[in-house]
Every structure is written in structure tokens, then in C-alpha cells.
Structure 1
């Protein structure tokens, strides 16, 4: 992170990190298992037989209460439409609530979804107890209620409650909404759009507000809304049974936001990061960012892709098991690195809400490491003395190694293949490299034989660009070799190719007097390229 700030500190307005989306499951511990449900109805409620009608009656009571609650508080309640995002549908009511500066439930949506329930069956063979029934867990499709809330502490949030036992609840929170409420309470000016803060009067106060989101604050607000909107129990039932909720983190996102002073560098920086990430972020590098090592017992995928989401902007993703790192620039306003986890067990972390601080520290370390890796990739500059040194032969002991020419196509092809060598953790043998080179570039054995490859590998190893994997005859690029490979490939793909094409089709004439800024710049570029060619030929 420090290296990233050193590279782009002059372009950055400020940087902050926080939790973004948090999805929490609320389990009703006293009714989570079949034996506890049977004990509840037998010992607490006093029902001798647990039947389908008894379970359905609890569902009907809760559904009637929700309808009455919406009617008494004049809250819209309707079925969710297919193909329409729920957040987009209720957005006008959320804005109306914000303008009125009021808090509470402002909309209720009903949806038929899969959820955990219980089924009651009669034993196949008669038993001594005529009232004995088999109660087992299952998943079925039934009504869920989405309560859209504007909370005075957490801001806009959503509470989804299942209408069937065990009445599992799901809470959808956003860390940016909590920060917004904290800044408003402290009367600190800010500008927030697209779920990000683009300007703030006090950056330290912004970060301090993000760090204040704690399990105690979340639990207090979730308990409050669960008591108001959750299923109802009598005083007798509450006194004889533990009906408190256990909160577990189901999904969590932690983001690091880079707010730039101007918009123009964001897209180019993101574009270059994607190109370098696809080349550099191999399996072992992904594992290093996530703080582990690649081994045979590692389950899940290690992959990098560039995806296009529904908003139209591209997203760079690096997958690790059930989690992934993503980077995107949104509407040319900010650049965001975000870590998303759907299973905290991938990080050897517990899912309980009490462990939120441990999740913050671990995710902060990973996003910081990701930003540092990106800064190392982007910190690649053309060093012509380095190119000149590589072009000269060197002698190590009694062995003389030839120089490496920038324009040698054999070297360019070999470096490009080795740069993508993250699929083999233990490095590549010469035969494997040879097979991939000839298949990738459609070469024959006569045009590029195995002895020619060994000659090129010997040169790269002599110049310190290639290293052996222990005592095995397996090769991989050294850290210096990775930097040189990136330099060579970018020089050819981004500079030599386009400019050579333009020079063959339209070469500026020295006698021509330019009449526009574009022609003047074209003449300067042609002169600079000629100087580069002269330096390389020296």
C-alpha cells in the first residue's frame, strides 16, 4: 500500500477502507433442531401431538401479523415482481424516507423462495406412544418477507424473515451506510455517490467512523428489529425457552477505495492493472496474496478473469476458493479493490458475529497486499542501460554467455511463455516449455528445435533471468526475469508494433512544415523513436 501511495500520491485525493456489503444469518437457537421443536410444543406450549396443522398455524399467525402491521402503519406490501431488482423497486420510497429524515420500515415485499423448514410424518410402524411423530429438517418453497428499513444507526438495511419454522432471518447491511450516519451525527461534510465517498471534510474522521462498526453495534440493532418484526412468542414461551438469535456472517465484502483528484488517470490505471494482472497474477501469486501456499490439498479454484457486470463497467477478478478479489473503476469516479468472501472457513476464520474484528484485520492485510502487488507491477519503467547490459555477453567463471537482443523473436516468444508459467507450481521442464512454444506459436521442430531452446534457456539463466527449481531440471523466471519479460513484451506489443505499423504506412517528411498540433506531435514521436533505435543499435 505504501508503494502504491508513493507511485500515485500526487494523483490521489484520499484513500479509505471499510466493510461494504455484509449478509448475516440469524438463527433461532431454541428452535433450530427437530428435538428442540418437539420439546417446545410438548413442554412449553402444551400440545400433545406435533402435526402439520400446528406448524401451519404458527405460519398463519405470523403472516396475519405482518399484514396487520403493514395496514396499521400504512406501509406498502406486495409481491416482488419477476425480473425486477428489489432494491430498484423500493428506491423511490427510500429516497422519500431520507428526505423526510425519518426512520423505520418503509416497504415490505413478499417472495416465494427456498428456505429451511420441518416436515412431520407418521411412523410407518405403530409405536407405544400414539402421539409420536417424526420431525425432520427439509428445504421447501414458501413465503419470505423483506422488510426495508431505515435505521438511525446502520442506515438503510433489509431484514428478510422466513414465515415458517424455524423462522430464519437474514440481514443485509452496508458499511457505507453506517459511515454516512456517523458523519451526519458528527456534522462532517461529505459527498457520497455510487456507494462511495468522493469528498469529505475530514478524512481521518471518515476512517475512524469506518473502524467503529463493531459486533456490539450490529447485534444491538439486529436484536431491536428482530424483536419488532420477527415472529411473536408469548411471555410464557420466552421465559421457558431461549429465543435469542445467533448471528453468523454469510457473506462479507471489504473494500479499499482510491479517490483521485482528477478522473483522467483512473481508466488508464485500471486498464494497465488488468493487463498486468492477467500476466502476473498466477496461481502461486494469488496464494501469496491470500497468505497461503499452493499444495495438492488446496480445494477450489485459483483463476483470474475480466468480467463485465450489469452496470456496463469491467471488473478484474482473482478467485481463491470461495472468495475473490476484484478491482473496478466505476463511472470514472473512483478505483476500488474489494475482497468478497462467501465462506470465512477459507481463511480459517469463524463465522460468528463476535469475530468481526478478526475478519477486518485479515481482510485489511489481504487488500493491502493486493495493492502492493499491483504497485510493483505498475512500477516498470524503460531502463535503456539495462537493455544495453543484457545485449552484451557476460562471463561467469570460465563460462561465457551471449547477449540477449530485444528484437530477437525467439527470446520474445520464450519470455511470453515463461511469464504465463504459473500453472505449474514446480516450474517447467525444457521439454514442456518446447512443446508449449511450438504449439502456441504454430512452429515446427525443424524451425525451433529442443537444442535451440536449451541454448536460449542457458542464456537467460546466465543473465539471471531464469532460475532452477531446486535440484530438478525445471525452470521459472526469477524476480528480475519477470520484470525484464514485462519490459520486453510491453515494448513490443504496446510500442514497437503500433509505431512500426504507422511508420510503414505514413512516415513524416522532414521538409514538411506541420500546420497542426497533431502533426507536430507526430514528428516529435518519429524523432524519439529514431533515437531509441539508435540507442538499441549502439
Structure 2
């Protein structure tokens, strides 16, 4: 009995996406003192700036004690409750009731915990042979120290927190959520929406929601950081700030998501099931190169893999690269979430300073879009007859009949396979980056002029576009369809059929497959005879 084939990802999406949201999700930032990150900077601060005759690590304790007292006094004077987090507590669950009761912007609750932090300790005591005065060296070590969580309700960002260590040089972290920021912007404009956890299930004006999400950048994050520093007690004072001892923020963990809300939850579930089928091999090193646009070599640190996890009944796909990963999962059973999680911006060639947030967001947006495009095409790599003829047959364009990319030609098939390996490259394709791949797959000499000619053929057929006036190219949607069709059909159909057609000692296929091939050949010959076409 014939079975109905499963719908492709394109069929599940086209005409059924009611909301498509691309936005920063969780932002977790490092907060640090730039001038106190080296031993020399610490000595200068203690001796030259603070005026201590001996820059001793013994000075750290009274400074920490004074800060702990300042936090306690701030909580008492402001009527803010201070709670101690216990081991195993999920902090956001503990503080949510306090945030929900907050009636105005500001610190809602202060949490206290003991955590491992990177702090400065003194070591290697040496004494001056003439004066007998001790000389200390300083180094950074991991130590368990007191940290304070200042949970606040911000007028622009909603729930957020800043965590400050109570030990020198007072490292800190700041957390906020881009979707929560977008919600506040819609509320200011009077645009209604339905929340989906920290995201969106619907919006009365999707175009305005898109504009809000696109507007979020470094300036808004810096404004939140500045407001935090103005409303909480700090371990350094005005005299220190005037001397340039100010905190700065850099990117620690950044999440950028794309959420697709479909017209029916059942369709979202079917979509994700098809994604699971198509994405099982995306964690291989060759595929990681595609998704993140970074080269994976033998000495590249980290594990490159795809993991499929189940949290309750909701599956989650994670594709790992170094310290970063791409996540695909169902958002509360109603939407499909693609989420790029960057735990180290240098993994993708971006500096950590917060002013580079926009650059990192653009790369994450490209990764999310390209992985979705490729999954859609990979689930059903079919071509229309007209598109296949346009690409595969010569038509005299540009005064040359050799512009065609003939299906089955070894050089063309190697070129298409190389393009398939570069589908997710965010930086684009160049003669230099693509030529080694084609040469390896072709197995024969393949020079720069050969690559230039093939790039011209690809561009003439509309399979690649040039980026501005550079010599860098990107695949077009049509190019993605063509290279996947050529590569997957040749590998999965033509090669097995040639194996089945072999006879004698060269026969590699089972007799049943060879019989099926003969049946297909007879059917094609009969159809050709009826159509008066030579088979």
C-alpha cells in the first residue's frame, strides 16, 4: 500500500508562518576594571593612587569589609530585602516574586551567595636587602568569595541583574534579555502582543516589532549598564573614578534567536520532526565549518558534534563549535526557535568589547538564516525543469555556449560539492577559499584561472552574487537549490545506479536492485518510444 510522503520543511513553512522574530535573547556581560587586570596596575593603584607605602595584599580585606557594610546599609536604607541563595537554588525562581511585586523601576531584591570568582591574590613575598621592606607580586586566581546579585526592574529592559564580587578587583557580571527590551518598546508605542515565555507568540503590528528588534544595539546595553552603576553601591569611590578606575562591559555569552510561530502547534511539531531528520549530521567538523564559517583543523580545540536531548517531552538539537553552539528547539510547543549561543566572541572572529555587539548580531543572524535555508532545501532538493535547463544546458549567453554547468561533468560536480561544503560561510566565498576544495574533490590539477572561469559561470547563471565591489561572493537561494540538487541526487541516485548496472566481478549491488534498474530502464524506453524520442 502506497504511503503519503512526509511534507518537506518548505511545504510546512510556506504560507503558514504567522510571525517571524529575529532578536537578541539573553545577554550576559563581563564587567571589569581595565586598569586593574595586571600586577603592575594593581601595584600602581595601591601605592601611587591610594598612597599606601607598601602595596600589600593585606589591604584587600578592609576594602572588601567596607563594601559588604555598604551593601548592608544600602539595603536597610532603601527597604530592600537581602536574601541568601542556597546551593541548588534556581535564582530566577527565588527572586521572581520580588520582581513581580516591584511597583517602580530600581533594585527589587539583593541576593547573596558564595561563588568562584577570578580575583587578585598576593604571592612571592621578597624583602629588600637594605630596608627589609617586603615586596609582593600579584596574580589572578580562582577563589570562592562573596558576591551580591542586584536584581532590578528597569524601565527599558524589565527584569535584569548585576552581580558584583566583594573582593579585589571586584569582577562583575550583568544579565538582561533583548526580548524583554522589545516588549517595553512595544508597550510605549501602544502595540499589543502576546508573550511566549520571554519571546512573542503574536504582535498586533509585526513590522513595528521587527523595527524594535533591529534597533537594539550597543547603545541600549551601555545605557542599562550606566543606570546599574548609578543605582547600586560600588566598592570604589568618586576619587577612584576621577583617576580613571571605571568599570567597562564586554561580551561573555550572547544569544541571538529566530522564532517562527506557525498557524497551528501541530505544524510546528511536524516541522521540528523534519528538522531532526535533516540535522543529525550537522555536528561533523566539515558541517561545523559551514554553519559557523570558521575552519576546523586538527588542532582546533573543542568537540564538534550534534546532540539531541529531551527535556521532558521537548527535544532539543545542539550543534557545537568550540565554546559556542547553535540550538534548535520547540518554544513551549508553539514556535520553532533557532538560537545561536556565542560563549566566546573570538570563536567567530569578533572582539569582546560591547561596541562590537552589532557585528556579532549580524553574524548570528546570518547563521540562523542560512541554517534554516539549507534545512529547507535539504529536505526536498528538487528543481523545476526550467531552472535545470537554464543551468545545465548551453544557451549562448555572453556569446559562449560553455557557460552551462553540465550535470554529471566531473569538474561541475566537484564545484557543486565544494559549494555545498560552503553553504553556511558567513564571510562569503573567494577564489582562494573555494579553489582548494574543488581541487581536492576533483583530484586533478585545478588552478586559479580555472576557478575564476567557474566563478564567472556561477555568476552568469545567477547562482552566486558579488558582495559590493569586492571579489567575495555569496550563494543565492537559487544557488543553494542547484548545488544541493546536483550533489545529493548524484550521490544518492546516480552512483548507486551505476553500481547496480555493473555486471560480473564489478557488480556491487544486490540482485534485487539490479532487477529494479532493468525495470526502470524498460519503462523509460517504453515511454521514449511512445513519445517518439530516441532512448
Flag whether TM exceeds 0.5 (same fold): yes
Give deviations 1:344-363, integer Å, cap 9, x for gaps. Answer: 11111111101111111111
Task: Please say if residues 121 and 133 of structure 1, whose CA atoms lie closer than 8 Å, have aligned partners that are also in contact.
Answer: no
User: Which one of the candidate residues 98, 108, 126 is aligned to 1:106?
Assistant: 108
Aligned counterparts of 1:214 and 1:487: Cα–Cα separation in 2: 48
Partner of residue 186, structure 1: 189
- Per the alignment, in what secondary structure is the counterpart of residue 277 of structure 2? helix
For 2:325 and 2:124, the matched residues in 1 are separated by: 46
Does the alignment pair 1:482 with 2:492?
A: no
CA 94–66 in structure 1, closer or farther in 2 if over 3 Å, else same: same
Give the conservation status (yes or no) of the 8 Å contact 1:381–1:487.
Answer: no
Offset at residue 210 of structure 1 (A): 1.0
Q: Structure 1 stretch 218-227 or stretch 189-198: which is displaced more?
A: 218-227
Of 193, 200, 205, 2:203 maps to: 200
Measured in 2, the distance between the counterparts of 1:66 and 1:5 equals 55
| In structure 2, distance between residues paired with 1:278 and 1:157 | 36
Cα 1:286–1:37 change in 2 (3 A) is: closer
Aligned to 1:257: 259
Distance change in 2, residues 1:481/1:118 (3 Å): closer
How far does residue 481 in structure 1 lie from its aligned partner after superposition?
5.6
Q: 1:263 to 1:483 in 2, by over 3 A?
A: farther
Alignment of 1:378-527 (within 5 A): 378-379=379-380, 469-471=441-443, 479-480=485-486, 482-483=488-489
Aligned equivalents of 1:12 and 1:234: distance in 2? 53
Which residue in 1 is equivalent to 2:224? 221
Which one of the candidate residues 140, 143, 147 is aligned to 2:146? 143
Q: Displacement, 1:132?
A: 3.7
Number of matched pairs: 402
In the alignment, is residue 175 of structure 1 matched against residue 159 of structure 2? no
Q: Tell me which of 12, 17, 25 is aligned to 2:22.
A: 17
The change in CA–CA distance for 1:268 and 1:132 in structure 2 (over 3 A counts) is same
Task: Indicate yes or no: 2:354 matched with 1:349.
Answer: no
How far does residue 52 in structure 1 lie from its aligned partner after superposition? 4.1
Q: Is the 8 A contact 1:48 1:131 kept in 2?
A: no
Task: Indicate conservation of the 8 Å contact 2:307/2:317, yes or no.
Answer: yes
Cα distance, 1:380–1:345 mapped onto 2, change above 3 Å: same
Q: Mean alpha-carbon deviation: is it higher for 127-136 or for 249-258?
A: 127-136
Change (3 A) 1:481 1:96: same
For residue 158 of structure 1, report the CA deviation from its aligned partner: 1.2
**Would the alpha carbon gap of residues 273 and 215 (structure 1) be closer, same or farther in structure 2, given more than 3 Å must change?**
same
Cα distance change, pair 302–281 in 1 and its aligned pair in 2 (3 A): closer
Equivalent position SS for 1:123: strand
Deviation (angstroms), 1:114: 1.1
Match of 1:373 in 2: 374
User: 2: distance between equivalents of 1:231 and 1:342?
Assistant: 27
**For residues 27-49 of structure 1, what are the alpha-carbon distances to aligned partners after superposition, in whole Å with 9 as ceiling and x for unaligned?**
11233323222222222322222
Task: State the shift of 1:282 in Å.
Answer: 4.1
Report if aligned partners of 1:16, 1:256 keep a CA contact under 8 Å in 2: yes
How far does residue 175 in structure 1 lie from its aligned partner after superposition? 0.6
Q: Residue 283 of structure 2 contacts residue 320 of structure 2 at CA under 8 Å; is this kept in 1?
A: no
CA 1:76–1:536: 2 relative to 1, 3 Å: farther
Distance 1:159 1:197 in 2: 25
Which structure 2 segments of 5+ residues have no match? 1-7, 385-416, 422-438, 445-482, 495-518, 524-535
Task: Answer with 148-157 or 28-37: which moved more.
Answer: 28-37
